[in-house]
Chains A and B, each alone.
Chain A
Amino acid sequence: MTLTNTTIIAAGLTLLTGAAFAQEPVLTVYTYDSFNSDWGPGPGVEVAFEEICGCDLQFTSTGDGAALLARLRLEGERSEADVVLGIDTNLTAAATEAGLMAEHGVTTDALTLPVEWNDPYFLPFDWGYFAFVHRANMENVPASFEALAASETSIVIQDPRSSTPGLGLLMWVQNAYGDAAPAIWEALADNVVTVTPGWSEAYGLFLEGEADMVLSYTTSPAYHLIAEEDDSYASASFSEGHYMQVEVGGVLQTADNPELAQQFIEFMVSPAFQTVIPETNWMYPAALPAESLPEGFGTLTQPETALIFSAAEAAAVRDEALATWQNALSQ
């Protein structure tokens, strides 16, 4: 009975909201959970875009990047989404192959990524380097995967089957070591305290003192430094280079309002959007020069080599890399 009431109330509220914005077109953006939390970039982006678009920007969120893609594929052509925001380059091939995306047609001159960008379907909005975060007072910080594997250092990582950082780590080792990746994983196995389903659990375990290091981002210490005024965290610099996570957005083939969606994608690489990113998503903005970054970002580890697979390469090596990982860590 109560359920029915809730339904009626929910339906009623929807009608009301619908009526209030009847004159404004609605732009539906699918994104991952933490993007659209009160502490994420969502609210800031919404305010900034609604000022210029004369529209109602609505975010719909799913668990993480992988769930976002699954959701889009589940809905197929009947999706209400106009824009997808927040899958990373390790997943974009699947979205493009499924015929979900329309070309963005935006020039990439303004991008400040350390790598070239030429994907016609997706445009990046932020990026970061994966890195092992540790306490600043840790002694003998390993400077490569080989050194880490040879040391007694304990780490917590994420499962690549259920989280995008986990998948990123897989790609990192694969990109840096190629055919030698299985040997690296076998040597790393005894350093891995445990594997978690997602980033939150892993970072939580690390903060609780369950491990010396956790797979996260070079930008993680910036949160502690800026938001908590705590400088006791740092990230290790690996000599083989650091794999990048590039988070992208794109217009869906099925967008109800392609012009508005296109306007949003262009807005995505404009300063109004980009300045929101560093202190809400704790990543590097994709189109903002380094001097515009908040104070504190300058103290972060700067990898000498940026590693990344193209979308097609990532899709090609994924299954085998996963099998290698599973074998090595199941022993």
Chain B
Amino acid sequence: MAKRAQPVTLTQTIGGVFTLLVALAILAPLGAVIFRAEGFSDLRAADWAAVRFTLLQAALSAFVSCIAAIPVARALARRKFLGRGAYISLMGAPFILPVIVAVMGLLAIFGRAGWLNAALEGIGAGTVEIYGMVGVVMAHVFLNLPLATRLLLQAWLAVPAERIRLAHSLNFTAQDMRRHFGWPLLRATLPGAALVIFLICTTSFAVALILGGGPAATTIELAIYQAFQFDFDLGRAALLGMVQVAICVGAGLIVWRFANATEFGGGLDRPAMPWPGDRPLSRGIDAAALILAGAFLLLPLAAVAGQGIGAVTGLPISTWEAALRSVLLALASTALAVTLALPIALLIAGKPTRAGLEGVGLLSIAVSPLVIGTGLFLIVFPIANPVTLSLPITGLVNALVALPFLLRALIPAAKQAEATQGRLADALGMRGMARLRHAILPRLRRPLGFGAGLAAAFSMGDLGVIALFSAQGQETLPLEMYRLFGSYRTNDAQGAAVLLMALSLGMFWLFDQGGRANAAS
């Protein structure tokens, strides 16, 4: 990138202020817990075992999710087929499901009484055991493969059509495509995607415990839960929270070394076209990737839908009220997440050397929701009744949690927009809003829609802080679903799960579609 004098713009100032606010909103609760605990307690041997298990399962999960995402994203980038849009939207669903629903879906297929084992038994073959490390990684891949695929797909779709056309006219082989497009793209996006997934998996606890098979599958998050609720040892909870932050920072530094931006030059934003070097073999590989990933992701969803769809119409009024509350909450937290993410992304994109800034965005997935929630509680408690504020606080935390995903999607696109359109905009003297509206935002539309959809869906499915604070008449849909499960109303709970899945998917689809409007014209 050409060095040029860059005046500090209003956007950058706002970006800087927002970055500080986000850092404060994440670190202040951690500080509050430490302060209340009056120092740290020692970690036990079991805590270190939890740290080791957490790192191992998260690294494996991130690795497998990303490797598996490569052929799927590539197939989606270079194939047009009927229902491609629906396929992309639908396969995003696992990521936003509450853990219990996702696990039930997986077990319906791979469990002891699942379809797979029934089929294997039918042909006289042995049975498959899902519990253990294999189950943990499988569930995390189920939840995160869609995210990895979409992040890679975003990058591939950001390649200007003119480049592909040029490759066609130069008679590029499949190998040339890999060398000039595939590899540089993966190098730029894969480390970031892996990092995000790694961090998500470090804070997992229900998935790891249920499918891990027992106490050996203890993650740091469960250790925090135990320290807080079982021993009421805030010092140990805070220290474990710090260990999570340290892991985040460490992983971030490693990834930062491997990621570097790609620049494909400017284009006129025409739609993508089939790649050169297309052979029957590559068509076969693409078809296999799409079918396998589709089966892996969609069959469990179909099982969940099949179990619950009959119960949807009979759901009690309170469930519909909770659904409405969740939708409004998701919209609010999405608005907040987008408002925060855009200036931060632009700030980071404008200053390629400031990896620390991006780290702030990532912090919020690494910090334990339990620690954030408890810390916020401690901060709010002296001022106001936290229960009255449970919905706004949940909205705020959901926005913070969605921020890393938005940044992951926005930053590469913003960098590219700066790289390709920045100079022209400079030459035309475009500054401020005009520059944003004409040069930058049109190139951010797709990742923005995707990120907003993710934020909305994520907020819909989240069962974090609300469970700590909830009061009468403030239940969100996931909380309502858990209560139905807890009151033996399994059928109603499955119905609520289907409603939740439909609403999450619907919101994701709407935002994502909005992001693609005009992109193909």
Chain A's nearest CB lies how many Å from the CB of B326?
Answer: 13
Contacting B at CB under 8 A, from A54-110, are 58-63, 66-67, 69-71, 73-75, 78, 80, 94
Question: Bound state CA distance, A158 and B377, in angstroms?
Answer: 28
For residue A239, CB closer than 8 A to chain B, the reply is: no
> In angstroms, how far is the closest chain B Cβ from the Cβ of A102?
20
Q: Does B472 contact A (CB under 8 A)?
A: yes
Could you tell me the distance between the alpha carbons of A209 and B112 in the complex, rounded to whole angstroms? 7
Interface-lining segment among B166-174, B271-279, B386-394 = B386-394
- Which residue of the partner chain B has the closest CB to A326? B215
A203 close to B336 (CB less than 8 A): no
Evaluate contact between A2 and B391: CB separation under 8 angstroms: no
Please name the residue on chain B nearest to A328 by beta carbon.
B215
Say yes or no for B332: interface residue by CB 8 A criterion: yes
CB-based nearest A residue for B111: A210
Q: Which A199-223 residues have a C-beta within 8 angstroms of B? A: 199-201, 203-205, 207-211, 220, 223
The number of residues on chain B lying at the interface, defined by a beta carbon within 8 Å of a beta carbon of chain A, is 67
Are B489 and A203 in contact (CB-based, < 8 A)? no
Q: Is B225 an interface residue (CB 8 A)?
A: yes
CA of A67 to CA of B112, assembled, Å: 32
A37 interfacial contact with B, CB 8 Å: yes
A3 with B395: in contact, given A197-B210, A201-B103 (CB under 8 Å)? yes
Residues on the A chain within 8 Å of B391, using CB: 6, 10
Q: How many angstroms from the CA of A73 to the CA of B468 in the assembled complex?
A: 14
Are the CB atoms of B378 and A74 closer together than 8 Å?
Answer: yes
Q: What is the 8 Å Cβ interface bit string for chain B, positions 36-61, against chain A (1 contact, 0 not)?
A: 10000000001000000000000000
Contact A33 B467 (CB under 8 A): yes
Say what secondary structure dominates the interface of chain A. Answer: helix
Contact B332 A2 (CB under 8 A): yes
Question: Once the chains bind, are B209 and A195 in contact (CB under 8 Å)?
Answer: yes
Q: How far is the CA of A131 from the CA of B131 in the complex (A)?
A: 24
Q: Contact check, B332 vs A6: say whether CB atoms are below 8 A apart.
A: yes
Contact A10 B392 (CB under 8 A): yes
Residue of A whose beta carbon sits closest to that of B112: A210
B128 to chain A, nearest CB (A): 13
Decide: A161 and B222 in contact? CB cutoff 8 A. Answer: yes
> B282 at the A/B interface (Cβ < 8 Å)?
no
Which of the residues B108, B206, B483, B485 comes within 8 Å of A197, measured between beta carbons?
Answer: B206
Q: Is A254 an interface residue (CB 8 A)?
A: no
Please state if B100 and A201 are interface contacts (CB–CB under 8 Å): yes
Report yes or no: A162 in contact with B225, Cβ–Cβ below 8 A. yes
Report the minimal beta-carbon distance from B69 to chain A, rounded to whole angstroms.
Answer: 28
Tell me the bound Cα distance from A201 to B463 in angstroms. Answer: 14
Query: Using Cβ atoms and an 8 Å threshold, which residues of chain A touch B399?
Result: 3
A330 within 8 A of B: yes
- Once bound together, how far apart are the Cα atoms of A37 and B321, in whole Å? 13
Q: Please name all residues of chain A whose beta carbon is closer than 8 Å to the beta carbon of B489 when the two chains form the complex.
A: 39
- A210 touching B215 in the complex, CB below 8 Å, given contacts A34-B487, A59-B472, A326-B46: no
Measured in the bound complex, the distance between the Cα atoms of B378 and A151 in whole Å is 49
- Mostly, the B contact residues are helix
- Whether B472 lies near A58 (C-beta < 8 A) is yes
Shortest CB–CB separation between residue B377 and chain A, in angstroms? 7
In the complex, A263 has a CB within 8 A of chain B: no
The interface residues of chain A lying within 8 Å CB-to-CB of B228 are 70
Taking CB atoms, residues of chain B closer than 8 Å to A172 are none
Is A194 on the interface with B (CB-CB < 8 A)? Answer: yes
Complex Cα distance, B469 from A80, in Å, reads 13
A75 with B485, Cβ < 8 A, contacts A326-B46, A330-B214 known = no
**How far apart are the CA atoms of A223 and B490 in the complex, in Å?**
12
Closest beta carbon of chain A to B2's beta carbon, Å: 37
A6-B391, A200-B100 known; A205+B487 contact, CB < 8 A: no
- The docked-state distance in angstroms from the alpha carbon of A325 to that of B100 is 24
Q: Which residues of A contact B471 (CB under 8 A)?
A: 58-61
Chain B residues with CB under 8 A of A1? 335, 339
- What mask results when residues 319 to 331 of chain A are scored 1 for a CB within 8 Å of chain B, else 0? 0000001100110
Q: List 18 A-B contacts (CB under 8 A).
A: A1-B335, A2-B332, A6-B328, A10-B388, A11-B388, A37-B484, A40-B487, A67-B229, A159-B215, A193-B213, A194-B131, A194-B209, A194-B213, A200-B100, A210-B107, A220-B488, A224-B488, A330-B215
Apart from A6-B395, A40-B487, A198-B486, 5 more pairs, CB < 8 Å: A7-B392, A10-B392, A37-B483, A196-B206, A201-B485
Q: Which 5 A-B pairs have CB atoms at the shortest separation, nearest pair first?
A: A209-B113, A200-B485, A34-B486, A37-B483, A2-B332
